[in-house]
Amino acid sequence: MANFSRLLNFSSSCSTLPCMAMAFFNPIHTANPAIAFTTLEMPTSEGISPFLSSFCSTLLLAASLLFILWKKRAKPLALPPGPNPWPIVGSLPGLLFTKKLAFRSIHKMMDDMNAEIICINLWGVHVIPVTSPQIAVDFLKRNDAVFSSRPDVLSADITSRGYLTTALTPGGEQWKKMKRVLASEVLSAQRHRWLQGKRTEEADHLIGFVYNQSMDSTTGGVVNVRVAAQHYCGNVIRKMVFGKRFFGNGRADGGPGVEEEEHVSALFKILAYLYSFCVSDYLPCLRRRLDLDGHEKIIRTATASVAKYQDPEIDERIRHWTEGTRTEQDDLLDILIGLKQKDGSPLLSPDEIKAQLVELMLATVDNPSNAVEWALAEMINQPTLLERATEELDRVVGRNRLVQESDLSQLNYVKSCVKESFRLHPIAPFNVPHISTADTTIAGYFIPKGSHVLLSRLGLGRNPRVWDEPLQFRPERHLKRDGSAVMLTDPDLKMLSFSIGRRGCPGVTLGSTLTTMLMARLLQGFSWELPPTMSKIELKESAKDLFLAEPLHAKARPRSFLSFLFQTHRIPPPLKMANPVKMGDS
């Protein structure tokens, strides 16, 4: 990798010096202006002394020579520092044959080099990881237009059905079209309010499902929090899109059935391989010829599993609207089908609808469920945090009703717990990559056109230059001194919960609502503690991703007011369990 060098300090002045000198020393007007510019006619001795004439000529010649030498020898700004690449292949072999996952290898490189931005050459593609908030702002705010596109990679191509969607699609007319649809028709404030009833219904169902789990004596009331959280997120987005919770019948206790388990599992499989390190992304000649690392097969299998459940629903709904047997809009699928062009024809093709709904599912199931699982694990290990969050809920909401979306703005400590989980335990090591559409300069470094920019969620959130005790879970760090509302986003990019800029996440409101509601309902409805066989939750990351190494299992005790809410039908009563256990009195 080229060493860092800067342009000479006098570069800007030298570039104009010859012309300035000619203008100064050639006041004689000629009939041909071109000759006046290219031919230096020095004044005669009648107008200027021979010594001054000779001095000016020498000065002009020296300035011209300096300019020519500078143009030939001055080096451009260097790329960011990085590992020394092999000829042609760059650092590709190092990432291929390392025992570490690619994202862990990249972060280790940055730690070893003590650098917040580096450049890794992968067969001529410059990959630029970033862990500095200031540099991240340079990319996503000051130079947003240059970095608002996406790289062409196999996993994104397959998932988006040939780039028919919003988040995964490179810049262009298709991206602009789908972005308008998403912003104005799917994720607008008006649409968010329109779908509130469906979200509330699933939040109530969550309480019933966890209650059933907590009352099961065969498990001692121990709940698999990962299943509950992912189940909730899957239910919410299916209800918003398809108007129903289950593709099949679900389980007797209100949990996901085989169909829902396969659906959510396939979504997480896609997420695991979407934009993951894949050799064919850097060797386009191998794409669709050799599946060297097996990623293509995995992605195609997972997308087929998702399509198996979603596509028939979409096709049937389109048919109902075409035949006139459905006339009322009830969910997002109805909205997308009903969009029209000026001539009355459908705005979106069936493939565009199918692809965009997969992307919407992917964006909804992962971040909220992962953040809440990690947050609850951290808080069980620090019971005082659980107590403080529960006290806030009791103070703001009371104990005669369940928390609603209208309460969330006042739950600053609960939101701080969620935000701290986003910071310390991001769902993915990097944000979705950006690609530079032109040569540019960032933080004094040359960033060539075609570079893949990876803003590190992991590195930003755990940057010791930014955060005190970055590896400690401390929700209070996000509370405002003036008591103002805590937002789950960070405009200064000290952490990346939701992206910003032209490629910013259009679902910030939905994502923030789902995550905070999930956290609030679990804390308000139940007291959480370690299972009898454990003395502490092991806060260890999985070897293959950033999830908890083992799904969080915790004992849930229903708080006493839940029984009152069930009996008075303020929330739907849960199914009766065959092996109930006694409720707690908290």
User: What's the rounded Cα separation, in Å, for the pair 105 and 98?
Assistant: 8
Which position has the token pair 């809440």? 372
For 573, list phi and psi in degrees, rounded to 5: -65, 145
State the binding site.
505
Question: What is the C-alpha separation between 232 and 557, in angstroms, rounded?
Answer: 19
Cα separation of 348 and 361, whole Å?
Answer: 18
In sequence order, what are the residues at sequence separation of 6 or more whose Cβ sits closer than 8 angstroms to the Cβ of residue 238? 244, 245, 246, 247, 260
Q: What are phi and psi of 129, to 5 degrees?
A: -80, 145
Of 557, 427, 523, 519, the C-alpha closest to 229 is: 519
User: Quick check: 223 and 552 in contact, CB under 8 A?
Assistant: no
Tell me, rounded to whole angstroms, the distance of Cα 13 from its chain centroid: 43
Tokens 């300019």 correspond to what residue? 67
Q: Residue 532 class from Cβ within 10 Å (0-12 exposed, 13-18 middle, 19+ buried)?
A: exposed
E strand segments, 167-213:
none
Cβ contacts of residue 291 below 8 Å, gap of 6+? 280, 297
Q: How far apart are CA 568 and CA 563, in angstroms?
A: 9
Structural tokens at position 226: 């990962």
C-alpha–C-alpha distance, residues 516 and 415, integer Å = 6
50 vs 55: CA distance, rounded Å:
9
The DSSP symbol for 275 reads T
CA distance 407 to 520: 10
Diameter over CA atoms, the chain: 117
String of DSSP letters for 7-35: --TTHHHHTTHHHHHHHHH-----S-HHH
Tokens describing residue 579 = 């092996």
Q: Which residues are annotated as a binding site for heme?
A: 505
475 three-state secondary structure? helix
> Do 2 and 79 contact (CB within 8 A), yes or no?
yes
In whole angstroms, give the CA distance from residue 33 to residue 66. 26
Nearest of 25, 82, 134, 5 to residue 465 by alpha carbon:
134
The strand ranges marked E within 371-444 are 434-435, 440-442
Helix axes 508-525, 367-381, angle to 10 degrees: 40
Is residue 554 classed as helix, strand or coil in its secondary structure? Answer: strand
